[in-house]
Structure 1
Amino acid sequence: MTAITPETLLTELHKAADAVSSLAAKLTDADVPAESALPGWTRGHVLAHITGISNAMARQLEYAARGETVELYDGGYEGRTKAIEMNAGHALEQHRSDVDLALQRALRAFDSLAAADAADGDAATGAGGWRAPISYRGGVVLDGGFALWRELVIHASDLNTGRGPETWSRQFCEHLFTFLAARVPEDQKLVLQPLGLPRVTIGTGGRSTVVSGMVTDIAAWLAGREPSLGSLRASAAADGVDLPELLPWPSGVPAK
């Protein structure tokens, strides 16, 4: 798998943000309270969450630029959930405005890193650079960029408007393979075999299961989403088996 550079990540963030804004622009008032692809969430919930995570990640970078850190959401996981529930019922125009402003804020924060890199050539290691500490997962700004990329791409599909996981790029899917290795149970090892692509092994347990199919279907399954193309197959010792149960999504916001 090819490593993703900060420059590539920045390009992908802009693409993902454009896709979310485009989908939101096509929604109607009746679409907001309709079901999303996430159980128990309307499209309004998804839009409210996109707004929330975009603002939260922008704040991570704004504090990092001052050499400071701040929790991802005010009030932690409970604060995140409360804000989503409070804002899910907003009218469509309010959602569009909130999403666009939040995305602009986040992109402005990430774009400033590229501008700093161009100015002094050493911003990656300084305060406010890609390696500046943030509170999200005890990581650095680059980790926050990958997190926002995941949130925007996956939740664009969760809006349930016809843009499903089959639209995810190979690069994004392979990123998910690495990030979501944390969902593999301790006693298991998954050998991922995307059709026409090299195998990827995640997990270190003794029980080995081969999961084959289109790269987007494998990524969707790992992400807890419905595969779009119906190509997934699992086998162990050359026999067909059920897809293994996965651990919960590795949350970046500790529950209280």
Structure 2
Amino acid sequence: MTAITPDAITPDTVRAELHKAADVVSSLAAKLTDADVPAPSALPGWSRGHVLAHITGICNAMARQVEFAARGETVELYDGGYDGRTKAIEMSAGHALEQHRADLDAALERALRAFDSIDASSGAGSWQAPISYRGGVVLDGGLALWRELVIHASDLGTGRGPETWSRHFCEHLFSFLSARVPEDQKLVLQPLGMPPVTIGTGGRSIVVSGMVTDIAAWLAGREPTLGSLRASAAADSVDLPELLPWPSGVPTP
């Protein structure tokens, strides 16, 4: 049985994945119509306009993390913290499609430019330079933006769901979202055709099996699209366990 290990992801991998994910988001936004913006997204209570506004906001927020890190400084992720994030999304969600596209394209370009400019050396401006997001470093910010772009592209509800997520991305989510496993549980993830992965350290062991994308979607709080998930404990079928909240990088009130 394979225990979860830190992601073997290099800065070059992160950079390449960010460009691919940004291309997907941009292409999906380009296919939307004016009527699509106020329509419901895959996220409860959010329209597609809310999702577009959030993607724009997180791109600008992560770009700012990198820009400040290049000067040897740190800055909070969002102006005004979680409340500031929420207010900005609500203010922008109702924008016309043309405005959403302009804002999104500018934010994606800013974020990619920031990560493309990172120095391979150490110190300020490097991938290991400190940022305020989760008390981490620039590489953590790159991984966070990758997650945001890929997951929220599916949240737009345009037909590109979690079944399109790459194995590499799903394996990264297994590692990052291990924080959602309750303390008394240990999950043995059994993706079909892949080695099992164990996350959590509790005494109660639950096996969750299915397609790798369905397992990753469930861990991420999204609807599995292939209908393959099964859970068992001591060889008996059980309900999928309740997970802890998403490990947010923005302190909540």
- On whether the aligned pair clears a TM of 0.5, the verdict is yes
SS where residue 175 of structure 1 aligns?
helix
Structure 2 unaligned segments of length 5 or more: list them. none
Report what 2:40 is aligned to.
35
Q: How do 1:111-150 residues align onto structure 2 when only pairs under 5 Å count?
A: 111-113=116-118, 116-117=119-120, 123=121, 125-150=122-147
Q: Partners of 1:100 and 1:15 in 2: how far apart?
A: 14
Q: How do 1:104-253 residues align onto structure 2 when only pairs under 5 Å count?
A: 104-113=109-118, 116-117=119-120, 123=121, 125-253=122-250
Report what 1:88 is aligned to.
93
Report what 2:8 is aligned to.
3
Using the TM superposition, give the Cα deviation of residue 4 of structure 1 relative to its aligned residue in structure 2, in angstroms: 1.1
Q: Partners of 1:93 and 1:158 in 2: how far apart?
A: 20
Using the TM superposition, give the Cα deviation of residue 126 of structure 1 relative to its aligned residue in structure 2, in angstroms: 1.6
C-alpha RMSD of the superposition: 0.8
SS where residue 209 of structure 2 aligns?
strand
Q: Partners of 2:14 and 2:197 in 1: how far apart?
A: 22
State the Cα deviation string for residues 35-79 of structure 1 (Å, max 9, x = none).
000000000000000000000000000000000000000000000
Q: Which amino acid aligns with 1:255?
A: T
- Verify: 1:65 aligned to 2:62, yes or no: no
Q: Partners of 1:138 and 1:192 in 2: how far apart?
A: 28
How many residues are paired up? 248
SS where residue 128 of structure 2 aligns?
coil
SS where residue 117 of structure 2 aligns?
helix
Normalised by the length of structure 2, the TM-score is 0.97
Q: Partners of 1:192 and 1:97 in 2: how far apart?
A: 41
SS where residue 102 of structure 1 aligns?
helix
Using the TM superposition, give the Cα deviation of residue 17 of structure 1 relative to its aligned residue in structure 2, in angstroms: 0.3
Q: Which amino acid aligns with 2:93?
A: A
**Segments of 4+ moved more than 2 angstroms:** none
SS where residue 131 of structure 2 aligns?
coil
Normalised by the length of structure 1, the TM-score is 0.96
SS where residue 246 of structure 1 aligns?
coil
Q: Which amino acid aligns with 2:140?
A: D
Using the TM superposition, give the Cα deviation of residue 145 of structure 1 relative to its aligned residue in structure 2, in angstroms: 0.2
State the Cα deviation string for residues 110-139 of structure 1 (Å, max 9, x = none).
0001xx33xxxxx2x120100000000000
Q: Partners of 1:10 and 1:108 in 2: how far apart?
A: 10
SS where residue 127 of structure 1 aligns?
coil
